Amino acid sequence: MYKPFTVELFKIQRELSEQFDLAHFIQMPLSRDTIILQDECGEKIAFTCQNNIVMQVPIPSTLSKEESTAYIKCLRQTKKLPNLRTFQEVTRWWASNPTPLTYQQALGLPDDLYIHYLTHRLLDDEEILRIVGQEVITEDEYKDLRLWCRNGNFCRSYLGAYGVDGTGDSYKFIWNYGRPDAITFVFYIKNEYYCFMHGIPYHN
């Protein structure tokens, strides 16, 4: 869940909390001193903090996907990018180093996971095991699981599609992947297809 991690972002949030009910908005850091505020309809507005003054600005242009990929590749080739395993490590690097990457590009998250990351807390191991132990999980729980895997847990887990049948889309998750004590879980996701097959309303 998003919390300001630079002085400039903190000042922006403090100012915006006096003007907006932030419970109805998603705060999306763009740089260490600029943030995008997105409402429930997807409309966006940008604010920056310059010389201790918070002001509205046009939404800045950002690197394309191809440009950000090339930039990260260049950093790795020149060994200017340390081995960053967790979201916390990425955040510290991004906030402490000049970079054209947006926060989302630095994290390497697609839109759905980035918004979930900003609006939900990260789950611990015990909570993840509870989720994958269910026969059916929600789409939000699946996002929690995907974020957990990306947050430094790729090396000790496996998550992938398992199949499609008359029940729904099934997925396999392996805890302690590649180890003698590995545990395999198979579950369905309660998505639109699952709801259709079971004749229940689907709410995205």
Q: What is the pLDDT of residue 2?
A: 80
With b for 16 or more beta-carbon neighbours within 10 A and e for fewer, the 53-72 pattern comes to ebeeeeeeeebeeeebeebb
pLDDT tens digit sequence for 29-66: 998 899 999 998 989 999 999 999 999 999 988 999 99
Assess contact for 98 and 108: CB atoms under 8 A.
Answer: no
Strand blocks (E) in 5-137: 25-31, 34-39, 44-50, 53-57, 136-137
Q: What is the pLDDT of residue 72?
A: 86
CB atoms within 10 A of CB 204: 5
Q: What is the pLDDT of residue 182?
A: 95
**For residue 3, what pLDDT band results from cuts at 50, 70 and 90?**
confident
